[in-house]
Amino acid sequence: MSTLRPASVFLCLYCGVTIHAGDWPQFRGPNGSGVADVSQPLPTNWSSSANLAWKTPMPGPGVSSPIVVNGKVFVTCYSGYGLSRKNPGEMKDLVRHLVCVDLQTGNVDWQQDVKATLPEDPFSGAGVPAHGYASHTPVSDGENVYAFFGKGGVHAFDMDGNHLWQADVGQESDPAKWGSSSSPILHEDTVIITAAAESQSIVGLDKATGSELWRQPASRLDNMWGTPSLVVIDENRTDLVMCIPGEIWGLDPNSGKLRWYAETAEAEQVDTSAVLDGTRVYAFSGRGGGSIAIDAGGSGNVTKSKALWTGPTTARFSSPVRHGSQLYLISRRVLTVIDANTGKRIDQVRLQGARRKEGRSGGDNYSSPIIQGDRLFYPNGSGQVFVFALGDEPKQLAVNQVTTEPEMFGGSPAVCDGCLLLRSNKHLYCITDLGQKVDPSQIVIAQVEPEEPDEEQDSRRRTGGRWVRAAPPRGRRGVRRGRSDSSCGSRRGRARSVAR
């Protein structure tokens, strides 16, 4: 195996615990920003034979993302059941895994296996086969690692793989039996779990013992798959912010009580996580919804007092990322640029050379982009990683393929010490600048005619290689609105479902 750079010796404070600077301790890195440390730049080009430090087999698939803490990479997988639609196997054989890999060598340090709590949601229909049974990214405080396995509960392990505790947060299913995917986060001494499908609750657990500190039931969580964010308002207050269909909530992370809420466009679901800029929150809901920028803080209904703008742009599975005054999101092979100050759409660029996914539905969009410096990196479901230079206009620099094998990539990248970590349904990959030249034939951005965006995208016309929004036909809105669903209750009713 190739030897990587030594880990950074600088330390920083994250959620009250000292960890190495540059670590990637939760879904999308520190506080879920998706922005990586720039001290050790990632390569622009790589292939299966160049700038690939190591490749390590995994015990099974998953769409959770890797995290990196203190030179250790953690990733979750599953096996035994649900590996094939044609022959899913026996549910009783389902096992989930937490794997610890050495960042320097790619060697597996340890693996812990957790038997499923039965019955699980079946491997059938449109939901579970799209993502499987390892969808939640673990989180670490630098001393322990915490993994959420849905109905299998929350499990804590120390850095040597010793099992510390297990906590049950619910055994229910969402109406569609799609399962949940919100990842755990840490606030001081509390592990916060969004048990959306399992109990329609947000749960706070003592990170030392697993004891339940608080539980806040909240309706409509079964249509929310994003991961909450922590917004520091001042030295005495932090808000737990999450977006559900029709609203944004600001909760007290010490009790789960609702502090404030804002009304947003109705949507069928919210699959993405919010983006932060200080106390400002940017959120994008799914089909039938829209986007909003709001300043966190306050109390009660802050829709009129705190919202800066609302817009029609929606997001599917991939969470957006912020760079300066611009927001970037990717859906259906299109990169969309939003002005963070106004919510207006600045640009749209088709991903050149993108292959359609193979295998389970949705995989193209499960990964979220990350940014390092002035470059954006985005892996699609086939394992192609698109690299863009950011500026006045995004410019595609490369399409990189880490493997020529038919693997599926559903997790978002992790970055640490100049390493880009990607997980597929079969392997964990580490990409770093080894000073190796990449065969030019493997860097070519395919000169293909861009496709018209799919039906969920707005009507657009092609201009100079870009897709820009065309004027909607007279009498029609440019963005399709969602249906009213009386079974979901009014916005006021949903806000009241969370105790204040």
Q: What's at 352, amino acid-wise?
A: Q
The β-bridge partners of 406 are: none
User: Which of 435-438's residues contact partners 24+ apart within 8 Å by CB, and which partners?
Assistant: 436/50, 436/51, 437/50, 438/45, 438/46, 438/47, 438/50, 438/51
The β-bridge partners of 472 are: none
Pair 11, 55: CB distance under 8 Å: no
Going 253 to 258 to 263 to 268, the CA torsion angle's sign is: positive
Residue 275 is predicted with a pLDDT of: 94
Burial (CB count within 10 angstroms: exposed 0-12, middle 13-18, buried 19+), residue 412: buried
**Interatomic CA distance for residues 402 and 430, integer angstroms:** 9
| Per-residue pLDDT tens digits for 259-294 | 999 999 888 888 899 999 999 999 999 888 899 999
The two three-digit tokens of residue 429, written as one number = 């990959």
Q: What's at 339, amino acid-wise?
A: D
Q: What's at 326, amino acid-wise?
A: Q
| Per-residue pLDDT tens digits for 323-354 | 999 999 998 889 999 999 999 999 999 999 88
List strand residue ranges (DSSP E) for 179-257, in order: 185-187, 190-195, 201-206, 212-217, 229-234, 237-244, 247-251
Q: At which residue do the structure tokens 């879904």 appear?
A: 27
Give the H/E segment covering residue 420: strand 419-423
| Per-residue pLDDT tens digits for 173-208 | 888 888 888 999 999 999 999 999 999 999 999 999
305 φ, ψ (degrees, to nearest 5): -90, -25
**Interatomic CA distance for residues 161 and 140, integer angstroms:** 13
- Enter the pTM of the model: 0.86
The angle subtended at Cα 336 by Cα 333 and Cα 338, nearest 5°, is: 165
